[in-house]
Chains A and B, each alone.
Chain A
Amino acid sequence: MSHTLITPDSQAKSHTRPKGTSFLGLVGVELRRLWWRRLTKAVLVGVVAFTGLMVYNAYNQSSPETLAQRLDEYQAMVADAERQNQEMQANLPTMIADCREQEAVERERQNDSSIDFGCEHLGEFQVPTMEDVGISLPIADTITAELVPYATFAYAFLVLLLMGSFVAAEFSTGALGNWLTFKPQRVRVALSKLAAAGVGGALAATLGLGLLVIGARMVATINRPGSELQLPTPPPLEDSVAELVLRAVLVVVAAGLLGAALAMLLRHTAGLVGLLLGYLVVVEFIAVQAFLGGRLTPWAITPNASAFLEKGHEYMAETCTTVDGNRSCTFGTQAISYTHGWVYLLVLVVGVSTAAVLVFRRRDVT
């Protein structure tokens, strides 16, 4: 071997100067790096496996055998309820009389004639419908709409970790310093990484949701019951499946951007995982549930993602009112609107991404 690595012959034969790369070209390079990573393949396998499991579960839940069994259970439940109703009807006059008596006592005790125990409704009996207990014809759109929210959160979690690792790996290996000696335009470099994380997230979500939609259609086709099984058609969906899937893709893209941006700020995958788990446990599971009677829910991430995805999200929270100095609180259902959901997510993603780019622009790379 020569003692000299570089000789006059080692001058570039193919050309003399690099041509430079556009921003899109830089995003393409980042996407290539993303594709080459083993973790990317592992996440894609995870997405496919999770989708497969959900479709398989939907297949089992809606198979003619399962539906026939559930129909039998439903009919047994209805028969049992009707038997109980008949027994109750026999005692109904006594029950109504007792009820009215107690109502009168309470009115007198509180000196309030408006108190109503609803005694006239005693004995009213309504048999739950098959739709009420979830028995209906397996329709592809309905199956898809039921599965998409679960799939979206699973994909979002995986993509957030993948994109966080994708960016953090550059810091931890030190390759970022090398990269910046080739592309010193910090803002451009940061934006290309975020863009690649977003595009990568969209591709992963499209893969998973595409398989989910195809799987749901296959389940609906395979599990279409014969004429011997008479099942009601589920009510039509309020929202189109295409729009739901598009919103699901956007949620996963947002997760990818958040993962990349947080990794740019934290510089360590372990730090990102710690932050993510810490947030889920401390904020979403403990603080939101335990403090202020659930009133923090509208400011947590997952309820807003749900509100965006499903065009509204309901949650239980305490509502307190003060009348004449007396404070009274009741638990009830509250809602996060679709608009609240998408505005919240947009502000979160844009805010964290902007902070990440600004920090990346100024930070020393050692």
Chain B
Amino acid sequence: MDIAVRTVSLRKSYLGRGGRRVAVQGLTMTVPAGGVHGFLGPNGSGKTTTIRMLLGLIRPDSGTAEVFGRRVPKELPQVIDRVGAIVESPKFFPAFTGRQNLRLLADAIGTPRPRIDEVLEVTHLGDRGRDRYAGYSLGMKQRLAIAATLLKDPELLIFDEPTNGLDPAGIREVRDTMRTLGRAGKTILVSSHILAEVEQVADTVTIIGHGRTLAEGAVSEILGGGGAPQVRLGISSASQAEDVLATAGLRVTRDGEHLLVTGAEDPAEITRVLAGHGLYVRELTPIRPDLESAFLSLTADEGLGSDADRDAGGLATGGAA
């Protein structure tokens, strides 16, 4: 497996008013090349700090970070042309037009001018390129940032909370863009605190909390860790059905009017067993494990992902996504 990004025991602390605060402590992460890698964690868990360290914007106190096998920040110049990034909200010169902002960046790396028009067209900013950046909507700013990353035609794209502040259409655009890039063989590292957003596009994920790695791997593996598949069952003779299913070796618990059945590899097995006893199902809903439950399970012992975190905008399930 080719590795796009690897960090080992990465640590970063800041000196603030209340003393030294550790933002990232011993973070170890591996991002395979190709596909979309979700970087999940509540607000303040150290995602942006980690991304800034990967881009050489801040220096780690200790630990190592590599991008395409090159040590960061020392050897970053050797691979920077293969990396595009949007860290937090897009930041350009507000008094310049979108085109002027792109031209500065393109000239800085020696990208031919025609590429500026191409990336403006690609991001649907072709007719707004000569407008001042200060007048752009948030979605347009985000698209301009994506256009900037495309000036390099990078192999690794790092998006830090790319859908923050976007409307549902914008969120869908960004999500589909990430998916398309991932399918095209690019590596996308996307950080988010919106679990549903990442779950829909990511192939692999790293989940962090309090600056530490909590879990890492393929999404299916992480979800698989959430327990055996469950099915919610609606049936008129719930007590009788409970006995029948238990006799068939399935684990059954009550959930109000419904039954929660655990252990059936195929929901059809449940209907077949019940039908054999003259019991007919009114409702049968597979309960799919999701990243939210996986995350909550992982952070149960860490005191993370709690109500307090959610109240503070920490972990969100992202209805709009």
Q: A: which residues have CB within 8 A of B?
A: 1, 3-8, 10-21, 25-26, 28-29, 32-33, 36-38, 169, 173-175, 177-185, 362, 364-366
Contact = CB atoms under 8 A, between A and B. Distances in A.
B174 A5 contact: yes
A307 B176 CA distance: 66
Contact of B91 (A16, A17, A178): A178
B91 A177 contact: yes
B115 to A, nearest CB: 5
B257 to A, nearest CB: 39
A33 B145 CA distance: 18
A110 B117 CA distance: 94
Nearest to A21: B110
Given A4-B180, A10-B150, A17-B81, A364 B124 contact: no
7 contacts: A5-B173, A12-B118, A18-B81, A18-B111, A173-B93, A179-B108, A183-B80
Given A5-B146, A16-B153, A25-B107, A366 B100 contact: no
Interface in B80-121: 80-81, 83-85, 87, 90-96, 100-101, 103-112, 114-115, 118-119
B258 interface: no
Interface stretch (B51-59, B212-220, B309-317): B51-59
B122 A37 contact: no
Contacts of A364: 52, 57-59
Contacts of A26: 108
A14 B93 CA distance: 26
A12 B105 contact: no
A183 B174 CA distance: 25
B172 interface: yes
B77 A185 contact: yes
B109 A181 contact: no
Nearest to B100: A36
B152 interface: yes
A10 B118 contact: yes
Contacts of A15: 111-112, 115
A28 B108 CA distance: 9
Nearest to A185: B77
Interface string B137-151: 000000101101011
A16 to B, nearest CB: 6
Contacts of A12: 115, 118, 150, 153
A183 B106 CA distance: 11
A38 B123 CA distance: 28
A16 B115 CA distance: 10
Nearest to B115: A14
Contacts of B112: 14-15, 19
A29 B91 contact: no
B308 to A, nearest CB: 25
A178 B150 CA distance: 13
Given A3-B176, A26-B108, A184 B95 contact: no
- Say what secondary structure dominates the interface of chain A: loop
A4 B173 contact: yes
A1 B121 CA distance: 12
A175 B1 CA distance: 35
Contact of B94 (A14, A173, A179, A362): A173
A173 B85 CA distance: 17
A14 B106 CA distance: 13
A186 to B, nearest CB: 8
A38 B93 CA distance: 12
Contacts of A25: 107, 110
Given A177-B91, A181-B55, A366-B52, A6 B108 contact: no
Contacts of B81: 17-18, 20
Contacts of B91: 173-175, 177-178
A5 to B, nearest CB: 4
Given A178-B91, A185-B77, A32 B148 contact: no
Contact of B107 (A10, A32, A169, A181): A32
Given A3-B176, A28-B107, 11 more contacts: A5-B124, A6-B146, A10-B150, A14-B112, A21-B109, A21-B110, A173-B93, A173-B94, A175-B101, A362-B59, A365-B52
B181 interface: yes
B197 to A, nearest CB: 15
Of B85, B93, B179, most A-chain CB atoms within 10 Å? B93
Contacts of A11: 153, 184
B76 interface: yes
Contacts of A177: 52, 57, 87, 91
B85 A181 contact: yes
B109 A20 contact: yes
Interface in B43-88: 52, 55-59, 73, 76-77, 80-81, 83-85, 87
A194 B131 CA distance: 29
B115 A175 contact: no
Contacts of A13: 114, 118
A37 B104 CA distance: 13
B297 interface: no
Given A33-B104, A37-B95, A3 B118 contact: no
Contacts of B73: 184
Contacts of B236: none
Of B57, B84, B90, B150, most A-chain CB atoms within 10 Å? B57
Contacts of B55: 180-181, 184
B253 interface: no
B240 interface: no
Given A5-B124, A38-B95, A174-B91, A18 B177 contact: no
A178 B105 CA distance: 9
A175 B133 CA distance: 12
B52 A175 contact: no
Given A14-B114, A14-B115, A178-B91, A7 B180 contact: yes
